[in-house]
Chain A
């Protein structure tokens, strides 16, 4: 046990040096560390949001809305298909997560089924070779045809909605100019947004919480809006309200002239005459063409600009708008105009996002936590160091050297992995300090015992290490299991704690069993002791 092969010695020393080297960048500022030559490690510990301050926002994609929208589109497609093929039908409706339609003429059911089959698309590429389709079509007798979204079809829709939402959220947040936001997918339908250094996320939430579906539609003048309030609005129109207080109702055609998808640019600006904040926009060529045609046909009539089912403004078309650009004025504040331009540029979310969880730590609390963590670690470590020397003397010093290397390795590994240091993570390091010496304690107590049993100094040390090894492994593997489970099932800061705990266990076994043993064996070689001073 006290003999080391040359290569083991070199390996142990190399690992310790690498650990120290990886820790060094943390003592310099970020700029300094980044200016070092590339062969030097320059990664630093990333501070968690609970330490540097910032916002953690968990968003959920509204899966029900994704499905409903898909069903509505499918219903419209069915109507179009049957009309095109001149097949008579009744009772076309979305019902129980499916589109139902009844074909009038029993002889045409087969033809209808055939025509509708085109609405079902295969899922995935040819490469994956799956035969799944996104819609299943079944004739249920009596002329009834039911189109259901398949499990795979729904999954695909939700998946692309989440991906698309992440992209749009990223574009919106980038516009805010905050530093290093992270936006990542979590689970099937969640998006996690983390923005450091933000102490009031109200504006951020307003920006990502809005679907921003923009459409330009004609105002329906066939009946006054107030009359539609009391009776039923015409089937091709709906009642929408302004944001004012009290809200003013407008009767708006369901048919969309041009939608936000056709926008290529939007910028905040000021109206030249009234000097009030506005948003100017530009359409792409097809949008511009449609807008030109629609405005040419409807000079003198009002149209409405609708954002997320609210009427922003309803101006009268004075002359055809042919250039493909225009402006939106709606009694905006400057910041509102600014945000609306951001939203329009970034595009609409495919489905509404809901904020499921929010955790924001102000910069003051973060700084206090770092300070408290530092003080607690130093005091805890010093107390343990003193205690070990008091109990084990020289061997306590040996243990403390391994403890120092242990902590260095933990910080070094955390830095290299780019792991995030959280407040519970600091607690994990301090706890590692407390438990790290356990391995040494096990060995030393064993050496004491062996020596009491009458063995020579060298034999006691040798069997002390040998016998303690199994115990150290068993004891640490059990804790390691707990740490791994904590990592997989935990979230956020708790994960940080689990990572430091797990790394701490590995480095503890390494330092107690190799580093400490190496030191002791060197000492034995130099001193040739007859008694172990322990």
Chain B
């Protein structure tokens, strides 16, 4: 049986030589993302901004969005976004948070229901009041920070501090670029987006750790090899695995993106982006950073223990 080879058996790609291009490129993209975050900002969903969201299915197809906009516009609810959602007869209505606390948010739904009546089917109604939205925003940010910190500690424990910093730089890079994507495309940033980011954190680290593991192993085997060559060797050795895993994960994600329904589409979209960026960063960011931090050639205590275990 002829097996499919995505990557030639032995590759000798000079990834480290490319670092003079990739590191500035990544830095520029990261700065751009941060700038976009502050200048343009994210399109925060009701989870973080408060407000209400109503998904309706109209009896006629396609839905008459202009008519809906006119009718809901007269209710005096402030800024209202109305857009098609997934199918021509499905419409998403988003209403900004009303002034006047929790009760005022409840009134929005009553008003919209009174106006639209039975002319539509209500598929989803979400109302998030000011108290909860502030909490969700805070706990979401904390979740991402705590996750990155916990992983930093784990890698420090398992490898060495240079590796921990390298992994965190790569991970933060992925998170920043993902936030940049949300800002550029003005995707709805909600609770699922935080979940997507945390999954990206997990995935990206997974990838980085595999490369680091090989680097650590090679530092023991090839004590005389220049560190840059050693990094290149390690990345090349793990390249086919990196590509394979990205592809299988992407296959699953694309299935979700295409067939998983509109509700999770932006969630999956962010993850697809995260897998791409995470794969890139473990090759082009995580490894070169070690070069600059001067990772211990000797491998350190953790790897000595591993070497001892290997000898048995």
Contact = CB atoms under 8 A, between A and B. Distances in A.
Interface of A: 50, 58, 60, 199-200, 202, 205, 354-362, 364-365, 368-369, 372-373, 375-377, 379-381, 383-384, 387-388, 390-394, 423-424, 426-427, 430-431, 433-435, 437-438, 441-442, 445, 448-449, 452, 467, 470-471, 474-479, 481-483, 485-486, 489-494, 497-498, 501, 533-534
A369 B102 contact: no
Contacts of B260: 372-373, 376, 426-427, 430
Contacts of B162: none
A485 B213 contact: no
Contacts of B83: none
B244 A486 contact: no
Given A365-B123, A427-B260, A433-B252, A478 B192 contact: no
Nearest to A386: B251
A424 B206 contact: no
Interface string B176-219: 00000000000000011011001101110111011001100100
A438 B202 contact: no
Interface stretch (B28-36, B60-68, B129-137, B284-292): B129-137
A390 B264 CA distance: 30
A375 B259 contact: yes
Given A205-B106, A423-B263, A424-B195, A485 B206 contact: no
B206 A435 contact: yes
B131 A384 contact: no
A477 B154 contact: yes
Contacts of A375: 259
A394 B1 CA distance: 9
Contact of B198 (A368, A393, A448, A485): A485
B92 to A, nearest CB: 12
B199 A431 contact: yes
A59 B13 CA distance: 59
B261 A442 contact: no
Given A424-B267, A445-B240, A452-B9, A431 B143 contact: no
Given A368-B261, A441-B245, A493-B191, 4 more contacts: A391-B6, A431-B256, A471-B209, A474-B213
B264 A423 contact: yes
Contacts of B126: 358-360
A323 to B, nearest CB: 40
B18 interface: no
Interface string B103-140: 10010011001000000011111111101100010011
B39 interface: no
Contact of A481 (B9, B125, B150): B150
Contacts of B174: none
B3 A534 contact: yes
A424 B132 contact: no
B308 interface: no
A391 B194 CA distance: 34
Contact of A362 (B123, B154, B245): B123
